[in-house]
């Protein structure tokens, strides 16, 4: 597990390093060669949107069917209001899934929606940020061999960090950016429904049950629209 986390962080840093030269060129085009790249962007407020997609990793930290580390894909969307250059709050949706070919088990998780709070360090052509999310989610597990499936319902939380390079400015109409982000998600299910041969049963999840955790490495496209 430690190797997987280290590999994910290393991949994130490597992709950021590859994007840095392109971002520097975009910064020169947007702000001129004399612009200071690490001046604070004190006017970056308004409606903040983000579309993200990327890799997710199931970490076998709990009692679910994730017996070893598996990877899959995910898609997410965030919309919020950046009422200060350094702070924003909004809602996010996320869907991610994995498949385990060896045991014919597939897993998908939906976060819908999450309340998300963000703290920014805004510079002239890039944002660094951290985020905290909390909300309702479901987790579906399908086992092909036994023709059975189950769904867990409950509260989920996540913590993440990211960087956005702003590659285009439209003056009063906002800024377009692209970047990378990394999330660690924790699930706390309260109810579970199990189905087999068309018969379903819903029970409370035992208090000592521990769900598997997830790591998500995403690329994202972001747009900040000032309130005129």
Three-state secondary-structure class, residue 198: coil
**What are phi and psi for residue 27, nearest 5 degrees?**
-65, -40
Residues 6+ apart with CB under 8 A from 126: 23, 37, 163, 164, 165, 166, 177, 179
The 8-class DSSP code of residue 211 comes to P
Q: Looking at domain 2-225, which CATH architecture does it have? A: Beta Barrel (2.40)
- Separation CA 219–CA 79 (nearest Å): 16
What is the structure's pLDDT at 199? 76
Rg over alpha carbons for the chain, rounded to the nearest Å, is 20
Question: What pLDDT is attached to residue 17?
Answer: 47
Comparing CA positions, the residue from 227, 48, 186 lying closest to residue 129 is 48
Residue ranges in the chain modelled with pLDDT below 50:
1-24, 26-27, 31, 33
Q: Provide the pLDDT for residue 55.
A: 86
Are 36 and 124 within 8 A, CB to CB? yes
101/145 Cα distance (integer angstroms): 11
Q: So what's the pLDDT on residue 9? A: 45
What is the 8-class DSSP label of residue 150? Answer: E
The confidence score (pLDDT) of residue 79 equals 96
Domain positions in the chain: 2-225
Residue 153 near residue 192, CB atoms below 8 Å: yes
Instruction: Evaluate whether 213 touches 59 at the Cβ level (below 8 Å).
Output: yes
Whether residue 160 contacts residue 201, with contact meaning beta carbons closer than 8 Å, is answered with no
Residues 31, 36, 42, 45, CA torsion sign: positive
Q: Which residue, among 136, 137, 146, has the nearest Cα to 106 in the 3D structure?
A: 146
- Spell out a b/e string for 102-118, using b for 16 or more CB atoms within 10 Å of the CB, else e: eeebbbbbbbebbebeb
Which pTM value belongs to this model? 0.74
Contact at 8 Å (CB) between 130 and 114?
no
């Amino acid at each position: 597990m430690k190797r997987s986390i280290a590999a994910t962080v290393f991949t994130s840093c490597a992709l950021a390093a590859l994007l840095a030269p392109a971002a520097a060129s975009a910064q020169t085009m947007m702000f001129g060669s004399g612009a200071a790249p690490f001046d604070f962007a004190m006017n970056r407020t308004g409606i903040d949107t983000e579309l993200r997609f990327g890799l997710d990793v199931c970490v076998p930290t709990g009692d679910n069917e994730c017996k070893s580390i598996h990877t899959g894909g995910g898609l997410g969307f965030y919309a919020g209001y950046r009422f200060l250059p350094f702070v924003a709050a909004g809602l996010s949706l996320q869907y991610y899934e994995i498949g385990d070919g060896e045991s014919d088990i597939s897993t998908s998780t939906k976060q819908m929606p999450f309340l998300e709070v963000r703290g920014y360090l805004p510079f002239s052509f890039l944002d660094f940020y951290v985020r905290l999310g909390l909300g309702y989610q479901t987790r579906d597990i399908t086992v092909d061999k036994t023709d059975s499936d189950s769904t867990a319902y409950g509260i989920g939380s996540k913590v993440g960090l990211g960087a956005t390079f702003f590659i285009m400015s439209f003056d009063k109409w906002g800024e377009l950016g692209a970047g990378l982000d990394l999330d660690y998600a924790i699930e706390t299910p309260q109810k579970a429904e199990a189905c087999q041969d068309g018969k379903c049963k819903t029970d409370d999840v035992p208090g000592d049950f521990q769900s598997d955790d997830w790591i998500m490495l995403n690329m994202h496209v972001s747009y900040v629209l000032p309130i005129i």
